[in-house]
Amino acid sequence: MTETDSGEALFVASGSQTAREVWRLTRGHRSALAAVVVVGVTGTLVNLIVPVAIGHLVDRVRAGTADLGTVLTLSAVMLVSAVVGAAAAAVAIVLATRVFHQVLAALRERLVERGLLLPQHVVERAGTGDLISRTSDDVTAVADAAPTVIPALTVAVLTVVVSLGGLAALEWPYAAAFAVVLPVYGLTMRWYLRTGPVVYRAERMAMSERAQQIVESQRGYATVLGFGLAQQRHQAVMRASWRVAVQTLRTRTVQSMFNARLNLGECLTLACVLVVGFFLIDRGDSTVGAATTAMLLVLRLLEPVNQLMFVIDDLQSVLASLNRMVGVTLMPGRTPGPVPADGVGEVVPAPAAVQVSDVGFRYGTGPLVLDTVTLGIAAGQHVAVVGASGAGKSTLAAVIAGIHPPSAGRVTRPGRTVVITQEVHVFAGTLRDNLTLTAPDATDHDLRTALEATGASALLGLVPDGLDTLVGAGGHLLTDAQAQQLALARLLLAAPELAILDEATAEAGSSHAGQLDRAADAVLAGRTGLVIAHRLSQAAVCDRIVVMEQGRIIEEGTHDELLAARSTYSSLWAAWESGRGARPGGVAVE
């Protein structure tokens, strides 16, 4: 998984890895795949009756033995064979399509599941656009290929194999004439397989870069407007879009060159069979009817051969997307529960307490963000972490929560742990839906109680339909404070043993600061809590305060003990106190 380790992109599976994963996903559908083969072979064999009947009719006409009954009989046979062959092909395609989409659905579910469990720093290093592209553009590319790929792989392959057998049984020189031209197709495929994958991979990467630029522009919308960066972001998106256009033109050029080579192979095939037929008839080793049958069989062969070659063109795009999709499913991710993590570090379950022992953490190959951190939190205790921006506070919270596996050391935490950051999200849906995400069985009484505990009960009177009000995108827009209260209510309903608030009430300088602090106190009551304090007023009420600097814990104690020590924390508190009168809500400590 070198691509991920180097920070360039998420892992891309090899062809053999993708094949093994897809084969594993076909478990439970293999009887249907066998039925596809049986029905497809049957339909192909029936379709061979038509050229044989036409050749037989030609010989009877030349011999003068054909009459109306002969014509009607052979016509009826050809009609029945055409209907049966078409029906068999349709059944094979339907069965294959069903299996295809069932396997794709299973792969898509694994992709989303694994994507949600990927370590946050891995996704951020690769760029969220890469993951979004794999779960959208790549899935769409594979799904849209079904109408083209499935008929070719289910009918064309079988037609080629069975028709070649029929051609050899008729007159082996005709099969040999076709075989002489096969190197042309082989050279065409060799050229394409060397050129196509590189071009398609570049196109997919360009799409990922474009998605990344669009996502960054959308997520940073307020910043873009605030700093007047609209034109700059527009140009960045346009440059990424033009790179996609250039790569798309490259793929179309390769496809045109591919078509030209296929046309050459088709002309050479027809010419070879005609020449062989001429010499065989001239020597008396074949008849006009046999030559006609051979030519019809070859014409039947050319269409599926071209389809097969064309589908390989589509298949390259599909395989490029499949490799990217499967690559995500094969990546190691966070475990939803507290089980041993990858690397030297380990996260293990505990009854209710937290123990961090000599923990180190770095993002990829970067410098240490946490350096031999040791911290203990007793069951039911509330600990605040303060320090300057970049001290490692949020990283420590993420490691304890299990979002990031420690690079070294050991973390012990409760099995039920919930973390809330200041970047809370309101999902599109009803207010009830947003609350029951963490407690599906909660009653309306439970939801109202949670809202009341977090000071958000007044929200029900402000929205038109109470708990049934649509919120989020396309619905009633909640303020930042209301969204944070909603997140705290979710935590209360989840009833975790350990609650981690990573600046979860960061409404500094607003009239809602005190209300949010009280809401945080309510959700922490009776459970172990870790608070990354945005305001020192939050830290002061905790049982213990930890001061961090450059990834290390430099001070630890109660509020009064740290003030008496007259060190870093006391300086921060003095600055906080002097700023409280200058700014409503106080001064935030990064």
91: which 2 tokens? 């059944």
| 7: pLDDT strictly greater than 60 | no
Calculate ∠ Cα 425-429-430, nearest 5°: 105
Q: Which has the minimum average pLDDT: 46-60, 319-333, 381-395?
A: 46-60
Least confident window among 73-77, 282-286, 438-442: 282-286
φ, ψ at 112 (rounded to 5°): -65, -45
Residue 371's H or E segment, with its range, is: strand 368-377
Tell me the mean pLDDT in the region 410-435: 86
Residue 544, pLDDT above cutoff 90: yes
Distance CA 567, CA 574 (A): 11
Highest-scoring range by mean pLDDT, 96-100, 286-290, 371-375? 371-375
Strand 354-362, strand 368-377: pairing = antiparallel
Structure-token pair, residue 264: 């050459």
Is the domain spanning 2-330 CATH 3.30.565.10? The answer is: no
Task: Note whether 6 and 122 are within 8 A (CB).
Answer: no
349 pLDDT above the threshold of 60: no
Section 147-161 average pLDDT? 73
Angstrom distances, CA of residue 61 to CA of 56, 64, 68, 281: 9, 5, 11, 16
What is the model's pLDDT at position 375? 93
Residue 136, pLDDT > 50, answer yes
pLDDT tens for residues 352-411? 589 999 999 988 778 889 999 999 999 999 999 998 888 899 899 989 988 888 889 999
Q: Which of 312-316, 547-551, 568-572 has the least mean pLDDT? A: 312-316
Q: How far apart are the first and last CA of the chain?
A: 36
Domain ranges in the chain?
2-330, 348-580
Q: What is the pLDDT of residue 579?
A: 67
pLDDT at 506: 65
Burial track 229-252 (b if 16+ CB lie within 10 A, e otherwise):
eeeebeebbeebbebbeebeebbe
Query: Helix, strand, coil % (nearest 5) of the chain?
Result: 65, 10, 25
Q: Is the pLDDT of residue 306 over 80?
A: no
The DSSP element (H or E) to which 372 belongs, if any, is strand 368-377
**Which among 80-89, 129-138, 344-353, 554-563 has the top mean pLDDT?**
554-563
- Find the helix packing angle between 172-219 and 288-330, rounded to 10°: 30
160-to-41, 128, 419 alpha-carbon distances in Å = 11, 44, 59
**Cβ–Cβ under 8 Å, residues 563 and 569:** yes
475-530 pLDDT, tens digit each: 888 888 888 888 889 989 988 899 999 887 765 445 567 778 888 888 888 899 99
Query: Is the model's pLDDT at 4 over the cut of 50?
Result: no
For residue 396, count CB atoms less than 10 angstroms from its CB and return exposed for 0-12, middle for 13-18, buried for 19 or more. buried
At 336, the pLDDT band (50, 70, 90 cuts) reads very low
178/189 Cα distance (integer angstroms): 17
Can you point out the beta strands (E) in 217-367? 346-350, 354-362
- Predicted confidence band at 95 (pLDDT cuts at 50, 70, 90)? confident
CATH topology of domain 348-580: Rossmann fold (3.40.50)
Mean residue pLDDT across the chain:
81
Which pTM value belongs to this model? 0.59
pLDDT for position 551: 92
Q: What is 334-363 written as a DSSP string? A: --SSS-PPSSS-EEEEESS-EEEEEEEEES
* 348 has pLDDT over 60: no
Mean pLDDT of 78-103: 86
Q: Give tens-digit pLDDT for 229-239.
A: 888 888 888 99
Does the fold of domain 348-580 match that of domain 2-330? no
Mean pLDDT of 287-297: 78
One-character DSSP codes across 152-196: IIIIIHHHHHHHHHHHHHH-HHHHHHHHHHHHHHHHHHHHHHHHH
Instruction: Report the percent of the chain where pLDDT is more than 70.
Output: 91
pLDDT score at 5 = 40
pLDDT of res. 508: 44
**229-233, 305-309, 455-459, 462-466: least confidently modelled range:** 305-309
The contacts of residue 243 (CB under 8 Å, 6+ apart) are 206, 209, 210
Element (H, E) at 521: helix 513-524
pLDDT, residue 588, reads 45
- Which carries the bigger pLDDT value, residue 588 or residue 375? 375
Average pLDDT on 35-63 reads 78
Mean pLDDT along residues 108-131: 79
The predicted pLDDT at position 586 comes to 44
- Rounded to 5°, the CA angle 443-445-446 comes to 65
